[in-house]
Amino acid sequence: MKLAVFDCDGTLIDGQASICAAMDQAFAAVRLPLPDRHAVRRIVGLSLPQAMRQLAPEAADDTHGLMVDAYKDAFRTARAAGELQQALFDGMADLLDALRDGGWTLGVATGMSQRGLTHVLASHGLSGHFATLQTADFHPSKPHPAMLEAALDEAMAQPGEAVMIGDTAYDMAMARDAGVRAIGVDWGYHDAGELRAAGAEWVAPTPRALQEYLLA
């Protein structure tokens, strides 16, 4: 068994424009000043409640709840209108095909919702690639290891047979706490130094380099 579990946003896809737009609407809905775009990119990967607490620490819990609802509404509206920007990173489709053909079982562990992840995979023709899909609907936020532990269980893999691939320190910490190898990618939201400090054994500069590393 070889199990490769991928983060989604910032690793498989580039959704930062849609994330920032939805976050602006969430803050506007409760009449808070719009957040800094860099700060928003920093929280990608966390569950929405935890992200709101980090971005608006002075707001009350009920305000955070309203912000979460407004963010979800913004995403649903954009999805229905066909306006979401969630492009697959160049080379990622080839990487996934090569790993699957090379005998790897694939999974996803993401702070996105199940509905959001299902839409992303379907829109890029990737729905049949993954044996296990773990989302924020059913687990604590990263870096808690619950999502990765569930992926291992569902794929019937041992921690030593798996690797977590992601673009944030949250992904690396989750892998470390689950006893799984951690590999960072250098095209997402946290820089290579942060990923290594959080436990990455290596940081891939491109999807092609990651393919060669895993299939060596």
pLDDT tens across 193-214, in order? Answer: 999 999 999 999 999 999 999 9
Residues 105 and 161 in one domain: yes
pTM for the complete prediction? Answer: 0.92
Q: 115 CB contacts (<8 Å, ≥6 apart)?
A: none
Domain holding 116: CATH number?
Answer: 3.40.50.1000
Residues 73 and 96 in one domain: no
Residues 21 and 104 in one domain: no
Residue-wise pLDDT for 55-112, tens only, equals 999 999 999 999 999 999 999 999 899 898 999 999 999 999 999 999 999 999 999 9
For 44-130, list the strands marked E by DSSP: 87-88, 105-109
What pLDDT was estimated at residue 1? 73
What value does the mean pLDDT of the chain take? 95
What pLDDT was estimated at residue 28? 97
Q: How far apart, in whole angstroms, are the C-alpha atoms of residue 68 and residue 72?
A: 6
Question: Of 37, 65, 80, which closes a domain?
Answer: 80
Q: In one letter, which amino acid is 182?
A: A
Residues 66 and 151 in one domain: no
Return the closest-CA partner of residue 153 out of 102, 120, 109, 215. Answer: 109
Question: Of 33, 50, 80, which closes a domain?
Answer: 80
Residues 33 and 61 in one domain: yes
Beta bridge mates, 188: none
Q: In one letter, which amino acid is 68?
A: V
Beta bridge mates, 133: 108
Residue-wise pLDDT for 1-29, tens only, equals 799 999 999 999 999 999 999 999 999 99
Residues 43 and 149 in one domain: no
Residues 69 and 93 in one domain: no
Residues 113 and 189 in one domain: yes
**Residue range(s) defining the domain that contains residue 29:** 16-80
Residues 140 and 210 in one domain: yes
Residues 26 and 9 in one domain: no
Phi and psi at residue 158, to the nearest 5°: -90, 155
Reported as a pLDDT band with limits 50, 70 and 90, residue 159 is very high
Count CB neighbours of 215 within 10 A. Answer: 14
Rounded average pLDDT over 36-62: 93
Residues 91 and 187 in one domain: yes
Question: Of 49, 80, 111, which closes a domain?
Answer: 80
Domain holding 20: CATH number?
Answer: 1.10.150
| Total structural domains within the chain | 2
Residues 40 and 64 in one domain: yes
Report, as residue numbers or ranges, the catalytic residues. Answer: 7, 9
SS3 56: coil
Residue-wise pLDDT for 161-200, tens only, equals 999 999 999 999 999 999 999 999 999 999 999 999 999 9
